[in-house]
Structure 1
Amino acid sequence: MGEAAHDLYGDNDALLLDAYSQSVSDAVDLVGPAVARIEHVGNKAGHGSGFAISPDGLVVTNSHVVGTARTVRVTMPDGGSTEGRVLGSDPDTDIALVRADGRFASVARLGDSKKLRRGQIAIAIGNPLGFEWTVTAGVVSALGRSMRSATGRLIDDVVQTDAALNPGNSGGPLVASSGEVIGINTAIILGAQGIAFAVASNTASHVVSEIIRHGRVRRAFIGISADTVALPRRVALATQIISDTAVRIRKVEPDGPADRAGLRDGDVIAAIDGRALTGVDDLLRLLTGDRIGQALVFTIIRRSVADKVTVTAQPRPEMT
């Protein structure tokens, strides 16, 4: 009876393995033909990955893959290559959009990363270390991670996975067993094994939409530089803000929104529209494109006295 039970469980293990393999293979068959190799024109040393989201050649990749290039070389799984024009790049989220001069036989669909669960299958497709169209599989290890972009801005809602990633995977898709893209592979931790990160698909969807509509990601701008400071308990009580830290203005830019509203160097911002600011990252998260043109109520502390100042955010000036 024990032997029969062993045989039964053994058969079940084989069935489960076959089901897992089938899920991975089906997802790869669906998304693989949409994955491209991205490299700078005339520079074969640096390369990454990307994937088409429309048949007419809209390709998503990492901002650090395209760098400052205006055009890149896009190589498709069938070996054909074409030039791609960089439509927009957002270093703050490490997402870029390229228009390839050619059509893709298959496209990938950006899924809803809010529906992700730890432990679900995660499949990475890309060109690690020059080995084209390599597939690795693992699971979603953690959700809601945060990671610094090259600009210093915090990327929220990052997906952690143990699917093996290497240089060259950057910009490639992290795929669920359904065949939907759940993240854009962006970073590995050197020296670590089984820890890699992908920008969530919902973040990528927002960036792609902004680039298509405006050529860049719009973010609200108030014209200050700031740092995170401790918020004394008596001040927190006076402002009715439940937080141990806040944001102190280091410098107010002349004739910017903050300057016109009367904010000064040294002011401490405890909250915006009643929402506590625990640090500079909170401030950056709040200054999204939908805040442009809005009157924001800042709760500030100046010389230990709490006050409210209204600041109207404007579009962030383009980098020159």
Structure 2
Amino acid sequence: MLDPAYSFLLDERSDPVSEAADSSASVSVAATDAALLDAYSRSVSDVVECVGPSVVRLDIRHANGSRAGSGSGVIVSPDGLILTNSHVVQGAKRAEVTTLDGRSLAARILGDDPDTDLALLRVDEAATLPAARLGDSKQLKRGEIAIAIGNPLGFDATVTAGVVSALGHSLKSKSGRLIDDVIQTDAALNPGNSGGPLVSSRGEVIGINTAMIAGAQGICFAVAANTARFVLGEIIRHGRVRRAYLGVGAGTIALPRRIALRLGLAQATGATVTAVEAGGPADEAGLLTGDILLAVDGAPVTGADDLVRLLDAEKIDRTVPLDVLRRSDKRRFWVALRER
């Protein structure tokens, strides 16, 4: 004869109402997961549909017409301005542009800035082209969706997606200088992706893809959109980027609230010094790794992109004050800037 306790357990397991509830819960969870996955897929797909037509393939030509290499680029104005990497153009003067709809257009290189690994081209033909908009890379947060579009290994219009892994890194450019405010992402990049856009879920270009670490998985880098906007403006105005040289690597950092309140600082962030180049102006003035830059010549520095913008041609060969937070003290250093 069955023990009443075991009989009770058996009845519970075989209760059709309980089984129906469990089944309903499982279906509900599965439906929620499917809805979330579908929303993510739609988000990526919508961004690619919006930005994809502005991404082009670049075939670089030597002066004699021979091919020098290829890469990606992104159209940033309807009249044919294209941003790409300096290492893609390789010092050449001309490029052949292939659009997503198959058009082949001739373009000339307007300017090349190896210090930020950026270059600007303009299409020769009078044409209205689909253009992407540059976002504000200072507003990025780790974990945001990041979508890379380009032509890796000759496979045109390839899309990869991931997240913003880290912000405010410095990366050594081919000129040997440090590129500040670089975005790290795990969106897969391969040779040929260089110069293509890194795009947010809002459909804004947040960076220009520039490098990957060979042998590592999911460690790729893009030059921040705010740096790209500054370089674009300088090349359009002057044909090249003239900038004052400070000799530091920098990233954006939040200021300790307690210290900011005590010192009466209005800003919530600054530019932390991640590296000091030996013999550079910052080294000679006494700046150290770990210092936080608050202002240059009286203008607030709220991040590495501000530092790039403020160290312009106007400050070349000038001695300017730098306001710095060192540990919990605010200090002022006078730095003799020279041309980079």
Contact 2:79 2:129 in 1 (8 A): no
- What's the offset of the Cα at 1:315? 4.8
Do residues 269 (structure 1) and 292 (structure 2) align?
no
- What's the offset of the Cα at 1:270? 3.5
Identity over aligned pairs, percent: 58
What do residues 117-142 of structure 1 show as CA deviations (whole Å, max 9, x unaligned)? Answer: 11111111100000001111111111
Distance, in Å, in 1 between the alignment partners of 2:145 and 2:236 is: 31
Counterpart amino acid of residue 28 in structure 2 = L
Distance, in Å, in 2 between the alignment partners of 1:246 and 1:202 is: 22
Who is 1:3 aligned against?
A: 23
Q: 2:138 aligns with which of 104, 114, 117?
A: 114
Who is 2:183 aligned against?
A: 159
Contact 1:247 1:270 in 2 (8 A): no
Q: CA separation of 1:31/1:310 partners in 2, compared to 1, >3 Å: closer, same or farther?
A: closer
- What's the offset of the Cα at 1:45? 6.3
Who is 1:77 aligned against?
A: 100
Who is 1:56 aligned against?
A: 79
Counterpart amino acid of residue 77 in structure 1 = L
Who is 1:22 aligned against?
A: 42
Do residues 124 (structure 1) and 148 (structure 2) align?
yes
Distance, in Å, in 1 between the alignment partners of 2:335 and 2:136 is: 34
Calculate the TM-score normalised by the size of structure 1. 0.75
Distance, in Å, in 2 between the alignment partners of 1:269 and 1:134 is: 47
Who is 2:56 aligned against?
A: 36
Q: Secondary structure at the match of 2:109?
A: strand
CA RMSD of superposed structures (Å): 3.1
Counterpart amino acid of residue 154 in structure 1 = L
Distance, in Å, in 1 between the alignment partners of 2:186 and 2:276 is: 35
Who is 2:315 aligned against?
A: 291
Q: CA separation of 1:96/1:166 partners in 2, compared to 1, >3 Å: closer, same or farther?
A: same
Distance, in Å, in 1 between the alignment partners of 2:66 and 2:165 is: 35
Q: CA separation of 1:130/1:3 partners in 2, compared to 1, >3 Å: closer, same or farther?
A: same
- Unaligned segments of structure 2, at least 5 residues: 1-20, 249-272, 294-306, 323-331
Larger Rg: 2
Contact 1:110 1:182 in 2 (8 A): yes
How many correspondences in the alignment? 267
Alignment map for 1:1-320 (pairs within 5 Å): 1-41=21-61, 42-44=65-67, 46-102=69-125, 103-220=127-244, 249=279, 269-271=284-286, 276-278=287-289, 288-289=311-312, 290-292=314-316, 294-296=318-320, 313=337, 315=339
- Unaligned segments of structure 1, at least 5 residues: 227-242, 251-257, 259-267, 299-307
Counterpart amino acid of residue 172 in structure 1 = G
Who is 1:229 aligned against?
A: none
What do residues 94-122 of structure 1 show as CA deviations (whole Å, max 9, x unaligned)? Answer: 01000012335310011001111111111
Q: CA separation of 1:29/1:269 partners in 2, compared to 1, >3 Å: closer, same or farther?
A: same
